[in-house]
């Protein structure tokens, strides 16, 4: 990952200057993002070991991250050993293997073929998108089904979109060959090459493709449904005259931004952390710390969006399997956008490029993968002292934003980490793009979706984001407590009936680590360090404050519920292990289910005063509205991490009075 400044010629008068020399090459760090040289070296080592042939594909090439102690002990100038975890797929046989390569020593450390039936398949490659489209369109059964729907013209068939959708566990169960590498395809039509295909779904038709044998192995056809005819164009030329009453809004920082980047280490106000990016999760933040006086105090060792499920709620046979794991099956990082100033990001921006491996294991640079900027965040604190002549003290808030945007099929997702001056951290997922669609008879509607245009159904579904938080609150040894707000019973201790209190329950064992939020109790989870005390003698802590919605609604025992079991709880707490990386397991594509969190959150493994990982699940249960067609306004979800006795008083007291750019004055009446 490398630092990029916006191009001033393209961005306008308030973009940053482009420094031709670029940043000083930093000392290498064990948590640095992958470089092109490292990706090339890994492929070379595997080739020399005889593990790469003409049919070899590289679904994932990732850093094999060092353990916490190694990362914490590193000092500038120390030697760094870099290891890569590589997933290989033989496109001719379907065999998937995992390898660990030491690119520092140029050595293959391990190589193991997977049992696809029990361990799952490699992530979907970009090459397979084209294979599915080609195979489906050439299949006589699909062409017959399309003819029965009145689609026979060669030009109409050529404009069809046969989407490569993950098959889940259901396909393996009903196919009789659970190790077979499958993708499923639904079909959408377009009127012209630049038409929105999502406006014209072909109902009742699903096609299973063996992408190794490159042939259709099964067609599910529940009967023709009229293809919706109305177009869903959302570009400016199709939506009528643009509004004319918007005046310019300028966001400027004439002296530049307040943050600094030293290699991959980002510092802003009292915050510091390392910025990373990988092909599976996208943006990863390491070693998040807050400077408190002369102390650098750790908060999180690692933070990332580790998985995201999109589970649909239709009962109809051709669509009742639709459920995706967008990070584990589609590689969220590889689906990331190249961001554009003024559109995706606004203000005094710094961009970071990402270096990822393509399907053939060659390095490719994704420009402007990560956006870094600071923005006004409203009022931070204020008081008008009526006992002191109505004297006013007020401070405006700023926050640092580190973000990326990924497109997976019809949906676009923006992911934003927010760092605040009061010591809190926020995370927000912004869902936009186009709702997935199905066809119904016009006016018929459905109990499982919303008819957003004549005959066009937007099915009900859930977005279940899961963030991985490796806790490090003032050190590695932490305990998590569940905090509920409860009324006290009437009696001598509550004579007026008005009293309530906070009830704290430590989460002490792995088997108790799966928790549900409860808004009626104001439930939140407190990450404490029993060995570090504040001036009141209480353990320092950070509190995870959720914004809960429904957990996974698929029935227990269903194929969807088995594969997406992490989504059945709002929080999981597990003992930290280097091999516990993803909540649905390492290879969720066609996995039969039960991997990841359900297998870790069992038994009596202690969760007290030790290294912990919190896995927080959140996100909207989406009942689409007509107002979300033909393109969806952003839907927001997220959570906050808030210091709770971590500081001895408000850590934002030292902000200058005119922090709002000279427009706010400290005194007045």
Please identify every residue annotated as catalytic.
326, 411
β-sheet bridge partners, residue 295: 292
Calculate the CA 339 to chain-centre distance: 16
8 A C-beta contact, residue 472 and residue 522: no
Q: Which residues, other chains included, contact 551 with Cβ-Cβ below 8 Å and sequence gap of 6+?
A: 464, 516, 567, 568, 569, 570, 617
d(CA 594, CA 562): 6
Closest among 292, 288, 318 to 203, alpha carbons compared:
318
8 A C-beta contact, residue 457 and residue 438: yes
Cβ neighbour number for residue 470 with a 10 Å cutoff: 21
Query: Which residue's entry shows tokens 């490796």?
Result: 470
DSSP string for 546-602: E-------SPTTSHHHHHTGGGG-SEEEEE--TT---TT-S--BT--S--SHHHHS-
8 A C-beta contact, residue 350 and residue 16: yes
8 A C-beta contact, residue 332 and residue 407: no
Cβ neighbour number for residue 147 with a 10 Å cutoff: 12
DSSP string for 122-156: PPPPHHHHHHHHHHHHH-HHHHHHHHTTT---HHH
Closest among 101, 9, 30, 91 to 56, alpha carbons compared:
91
Residue 543 has phi, psi (to 5 degrees) of: -110, 130
Query: If DSSP codes are grouped into helix, strand and coil, which group holds residue 144?
Result: helix
d(CA 272, CA 298): 9
Query: If DSSP codes are grouped into helix, strand and coil, which group holds residue 67?
Result: coil
d(CA 582, CA 588): 9
d(CA 226, CA 203): 7
d(CA 586, CA 86): 12
8 A C-beta contact, residue 392 and residue 669: yes
Calculate the CA 523 to chain-centre distance: 24
Between helix 126-138 and helix 140-147 the angle, nearest 10°, is 60
Q: Are strands 391-408 and 425-433 parallel, antiparallel or unpaired?
A: unpaired
């Amino acid at each position: 990952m490398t630092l990029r400044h916006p191009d001033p010629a393209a961005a306008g008068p308030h973009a940053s200057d482009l420094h031709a020399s670029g940043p000083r090459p930093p000392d290498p760090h064990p948590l640095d993002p992958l470089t092109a040289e490292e990706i090339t070296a890994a492929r070379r080592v595997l080739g020399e070991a005889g593990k790469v042939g003409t049919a070899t594909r590289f679904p994932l090439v990732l850093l094999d991250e060092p353990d916490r102690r190694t990362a914490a002990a590193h000092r500038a100038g120390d030697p760094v050993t870099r290891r890569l975890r590589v997933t290989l797929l033989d496109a001719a046989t379907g065999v998937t293997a995992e390898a660990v390569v030491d690119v520092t020593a140029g050595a293959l450390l391990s190589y193991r073929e997977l049992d696809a039936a029990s361990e799952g398949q490699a992530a979907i490659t970009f090459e397979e998108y084209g294979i599915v489209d080609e195979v489906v369109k050439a299949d006589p059964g699909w062409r017959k089904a399309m003819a029965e729907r009145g689609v026979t013209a060669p030009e109409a068939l050529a404009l069809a979109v046969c989407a490569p959708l993950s098959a889940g566990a259901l396909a393996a169960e009903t196919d009789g060959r659970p190790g077979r590498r499958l993708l499923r395809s639904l079909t959408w039509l377009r009127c012209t090459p630049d038409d929105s295909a999502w406006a014209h779904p072909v109902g009742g038709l699903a096609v299973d493709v063996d992408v190794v044998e490159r042939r259709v192995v099964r067609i599910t056809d529940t009967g023709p449904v009229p293809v919706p005819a109305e177009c869903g164009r959302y570009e400016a030329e199709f939506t009528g005259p643009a509004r004319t009453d918007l005046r310019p809004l300028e966001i400027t920082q004439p002296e530049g931004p307040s943050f600094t980047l030293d290699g991959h280490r980002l510092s802003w106000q009292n915050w510091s952390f390392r910025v990373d990016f990988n092909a599976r999760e996208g943006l990863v933040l390491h070693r998040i710390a807050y400077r408190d006086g002369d102390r650098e105090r750790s908060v999180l060792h690692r933070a990332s969006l580790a998985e995201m499920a999109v589970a649909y709620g239709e009962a109809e046979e051709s669509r009742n399997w639709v459920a995706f794991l967008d990070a584990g099956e589609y590689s969220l990082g590889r689906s990331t956008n190249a961001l554009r100033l003024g559109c995706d990001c606004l203000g005094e921006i710094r961009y970071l490029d990402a270096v990822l491996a393509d399907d053939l294991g060659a390095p490719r640079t994704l420009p402007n993968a990560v956006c870094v900027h600071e923005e006004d965040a409203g009022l931070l604190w204020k008081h008008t002292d009526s006992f002191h002549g109505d004297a006013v003290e007020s401070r405006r808030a700023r926050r640092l934003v580190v973000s990326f945007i990924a497109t997976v099929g019809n949906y676009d997702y923006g992911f934003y980490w927010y760092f605040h001056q009061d010591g809190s951290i926020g995370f927000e997922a912004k869902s936009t793009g186009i709702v997935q669609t199905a066809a119904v008879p016009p006016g018929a509607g459905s109990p499982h979706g919303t008819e957003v245009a004549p005959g066009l159904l937007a099915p009900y579904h859930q977005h279940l984001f899961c963030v991985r938080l490796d806790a490090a609150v003032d050190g590695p040894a932490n305990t998590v407590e569940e905090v509920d707000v409860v009324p006290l019973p009437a009696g001598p201790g509550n004579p007026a009936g008005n009293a309530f209190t906070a009830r704290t329950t430590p989460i002490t064992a792995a088997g108790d680590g799966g928790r549900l939020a409860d808004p009626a109790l104001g439930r939140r989870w407190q990450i404490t360090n029993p060995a570090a005390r504040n001036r009141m003698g209480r353990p320092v802590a950070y509190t995870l404050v959720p914004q809960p919605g429904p957990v996974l609604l698929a029935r227990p025992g269903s194929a969807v519920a088995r594969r997406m079991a992490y989504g059945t709880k709002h929080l999981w707490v597990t003992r930290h292990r280097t091999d516990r990386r993803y909540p649905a397991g390492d290879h969720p594509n066609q996995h039969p289910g039960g991997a990841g969190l359900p297998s870790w959150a069992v038994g009596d493994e202690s969760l007290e005063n030790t290294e912990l990982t919190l896995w927080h699940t959140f996100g909207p249960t989406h009942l689409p509205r007509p107002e979300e067609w033909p393109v969806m306004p952003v839907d927001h979800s997220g959570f906050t991490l808030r210091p709770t006795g971590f500081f001895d008083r408000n850590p934002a007291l030292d902000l200058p009075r005119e922090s709002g750019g000279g427009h706010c004055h400290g005194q007045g009446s």
